[in-house]
Structure 1
Amino acid sequence: MKEKLFIKDVKLMLKVEEYIKKLFAQAKCSGIDVQQTPLGTRITIYTLYPGLVIGVGGENLRQLQQDLEEKFGIKNPQINVERIANPMLDPLIVAQLIASAIERGINHRRVARYYLQRVMEAGAQGCEIVISGKLGSEKARRERFREGFVAKSGEQVGVLYGFAEAQTKPGTIGVKVYISPKPEKLVKFELGQKGEVKSEGENP
């Protein structure tokens, strides 16, 4: 019974996340976090543009709160909105930005190379962008843009993934973004001859 209830809750939250992302598509939402509290359900929305989610005087949040209660049966939803700290290291945000640029008619190669550079400048270890669809021709094709190190299939531990679609006149164009963050720098400590602690790379 508990397992069925858990599955039901997960499906509900996926529907809520999809609804919020579509509702605030212009705000470039990366995801939501849901926590149950004694006062109700706390929902945190991570977005590139918090103002578009909040609305004038919090109007959008009040409407969203009403929608969550009426359409999804979530009682007393408490909604928080947080700006994404480093959007260029969030593959979903990057994919959405690329898709939006393509929809505005900007050349896909120019857009991909621009964001590839932005991601690397933000501190990524590597980035791969895959754009597929009718890219200026009648036949659908796929183009890859890559810089730095991104683990291959089967080795993608720690590789972040995001996907978005651009709706253009020739058809739908898919945008996949893979980002490999830089691993945290490990510092090795050892004892010197006199018992002092030295870190790796420190002068003797």
Structure 2
Amino acid sequence: SIPHKSPVIMASGVPGTAISKRRKFVADGVFYAELNEFFQRELAEEGYSGVEVRVTPTVTDIIIRATHTQEVLGEQGRRIRELTSLIQKRFKFPENSVSLYAAKVQNRGLSAVAQCESLRYKLLNGLAVRRACYGVLRFIMESGAKGCEVVVSGKLRAARAKSMKFTDGFMIHSGQPAKDFIDSATRHVLLRQGVLGIKVKIMRGSDPEGKSGPQKSLPDSVTIIEPKEETSVVQPHSEDYGQKKAQAEAAAAAARDAEVGEGEGAPAEEQ
């Protein structure tokens, strides 16, 4: 018997290499993870908050989301050309087959990655943990979030490690709505006393336009519709519903008689 072979396709990370469908998913995941880690290290100061890869038959578009897009582009586009050249050499892309674009994060107060990086730099600059976390918390809530949670763990003051949690607003933790409505990010910051871990979770509200949050609403949300304004009765009046019924029946009978009359008046069809 001939062994079954899975369909052969091209990997996005390694152009020109024919691989099976299963290996393609793994290769795409590794390519995205390596790309994301590279941008996290390289564009941390520019407020990097994510990357999107769009593969077409001719070119691979890589869209970098950041808060300071002008610094990502560099003077006369020099920085983004350098990044394009690095990615092209590292992943062995053919000449002019990869393009990099910078997209500005519209609302950085609702981006967990951007706020995680902001908190990281505050701690690196020597700001007290409590003050830095409350500042980030306040900024997130003022940006229109329904709720947020900031967790900092490690050697905060004493030699023994501990964890501090700061929360505000409404936060859900389980189910499909948690995947749809919550944006989370984790970062590590190396201080003199050791490594601190930072976790930021932001719960966004539903937005019909899909800009500041998902278009769907929470499953337990209830919308109360305002009742219609009742017209005040100035003078009492009565209606005879029996008369209306008789009129309707008479109109229906007249319509039936008219149809029968038309049927009788029509010429008989030739045999």
Is the shorter-chain TM-score for this pair beyond 0.5, marking a shared fold? yes
1:3 CA drift (Å): 1.7
Which region of structure 1 is more displaced relative to structure 2, 20-29 or 101-110? Answer: 20-29
Amino acid at match of 2:189: A
Aligned to 1:178: 201
- TM-score by length of structure 1 reads 0.88
- 1:43 and 2:62 are equivalent in the alignment: yes
Higher strand share: 1
Aligned to 1:120: 141
Partners in 2 of 1:119 and 1:68 — Cα distance? Answer: 33
Q: CA RMSD for the aligned pairs?
A: 1.8
- The answer to whether 1:156 aligns with 2:178 is yes
The equivalent of 2:160 in structure 1 is 139
Instruction: Give per-residue Cα distances to partners, 1:76-127, cap 9 Å, x unaligned.
Output: 2111101100001011111110011001100010011111111111111100
Pairing 1:66-105 to 2, within 5 Å after superposition: 66-75=85-94, 76-105=97-126
Contact 1:24 1:52 in 2 (8 A): no
- Correspondence for 1:58: 77
Deviation for aligned residue 1:202 = 6.5
3-state SS, counterpart of residue 45 of structure 2: helix
Structure 1 residue ranges without an equivalent (≥5) = 187-198
- Whether the 8 Å CA contact 1:96–1:163 is kept in 2: the answer is no
1:16–1:72 Cα contact (<8 Å) kept: no
Aligned equivalents of 2:87, 2:207: Cα separation in 1:
39
> How far does the alpha carbon of each residue in 1:7-40 deviate from its partner, in whole angstroms, 9 at most, with x for none?
1122112101111221111112111000112431
Matching residue's letter, 2:205: K
Name the residue aligned to 1:18.
Answer: 37
- The aligned runs of 1:180-195 (5 Å cut-off) are 180-184=203-207
- Amino acid corresponding to residue 169 of structure 1 in structure 2: R
TM-score (ref. length: structure 2): 0.67
Q: How many angstroms does 1:203 deviate by?
A: 5.3
Q: For 1:110 and 1:70, locate their aligned partners in 2 and report how far apart those are by CA, in whole Å.
A: 43
Q: Secondary structure at the match of 1:156?
A: helix
Larger radius of gyration between Structure 1 and Structure 2: 2
SS in 2 for 1:12: helix
Matched letter for residue 127 of structure 1: C
Greater relative CO (CA pairs within 8 A, separation 6+): 1
Per the alignment, in what secondary structure is the counterpart of residue 70 of structure 1?
A: helix
For 1:74 and 1:176, locate their aligned partners in 2 and report how far apart those are by CA, in whole Å.
Answer: 35
Output the CA distance in 1 between the equivalents of 2:46 and 2:93. 23
Q: 1:172 to 1:200 in 2, by over 3 A?
A: same
Structure 1: how far apart are the matches of 2:80 and 2:165?
39
Aligned residues: 192
How big is each residue's C-alpha offset from its partner over 1:28-55, in whole Å with a ceiling of 9 and x where there is no partner?
2111000112431000000011122111
Between the aligned partners of 1:148 and 1:58, the Cα distance in structure 2 is: 41
> Identity of counterpart residues, as a percentage?
25
> What amino acid does structure 2 have at the position aligned with 1:61?
I
- Write the distance in 2 (CA, Å) between the matches of 1:203 and 1:131: 51
Deviations 1:136-164 (A, max 9, x none): 22111100000001113557342111111
